[in-house]
Amino acid sequence: MTGPIRVLLVDDQALIRVGFRMVLEAEPDLIVVGEAGDGAAAVTQVAAVRPDVVLMDVRMPGVDGIAATEEIVRRHPGTKVLVLTTFDLDEYAFAAIRAGAGGFLLKDAQRQELTAAVRAVHRGDAVLAPRITRALLDRLTPQLSAESPVAPATGEDPLAGLTGREHDIFLAIGHGLTNSEIAERLFLSESTVKTHVGRVLAKLDARDRIHVVIMAHRLGLVDPGTAIVP
Q: Residue ranges of the domains in the chain?
A: 5-123, 133-218
pTM reported for the whole predicted model: 0.69
The pLDDT of residue 33 is 97
Q: How far is CA 197 from CA 32, 114, 127, 153, in A?
A: 28, 24, 16, 23
Residue 228 has pLDDT above 50, yes or no: no
Neighbouring C-beta atoms of residue 29, cutoff 10 Å: 13
Backbone angles phi, psi at 105, to 5 degrees: -135, 145
The pLDDT of residue 139 is 60
Q: What is the mean pLDDT of residues 134-147?
A: 55
Domain 5-123 in CATH 3.40.50.2300:
yes
Strands (E), 86-163: 103-106
Over residues 180-194, the pLDDT tens digits come to 888 899 999 988 998
Q: How far is CA 93 from CA 54, 207, 218, in A?
A: 14, 17, 21
Angle 65-75/39-49 helices, nearest 10 degrees? Answer: 30
Residue 50, Ramachandran bin (φ over 0: left; ψ between -120 and 50: alpha; else beta) = left
Q: How far is CA 210 from CA 33, 99, 111, 112, 174, in A?
A: 27, 12, 24, 22, 8
Residue 165 has pLDDT above 80, yes or no: yes
Taking all residues of the chain, what is their mean pLDDT, rounded to a whole number?
81
Residue 24 has pLDDT above 60, yes or no: yes
Least confident of 5-9, 17-21, 195-199, 203-207: 203-207
- Nearest one of 123, 133, 124 to 93, comparing CA atoms: 133
pLDDT bin (cut points 50, 70, 90) of residue 118 is: very high
Backbone angles phi, psi at 129, to 5 degrees: -60, 130
Overall fold of domain 133-218: Arc Repressor Mutant, subunit A (1.10.10)
The C-alpha atoms of residue 13 and residue 142 are separated, in whole angstroms, by: 34
The pLDDT of residue 10 is 96
The pLDDT of residue 64 is 87
Q: How far is CA 180 from CA 131, 176, 177, in A?
A: 22, 12, 8
Q: Choose the most confident range, by mean pLDDT, from 102-106, 201-205, 226-230.
A: 201-205
The pLDDT of residue 150 is 46
Over residues 63-94, the pLDDT tens digits come to 888 899 999 999 998 899 998 877 655 566 67
Pairwise pLDDT comparison (129 vs 3), residue with the higher score:
3
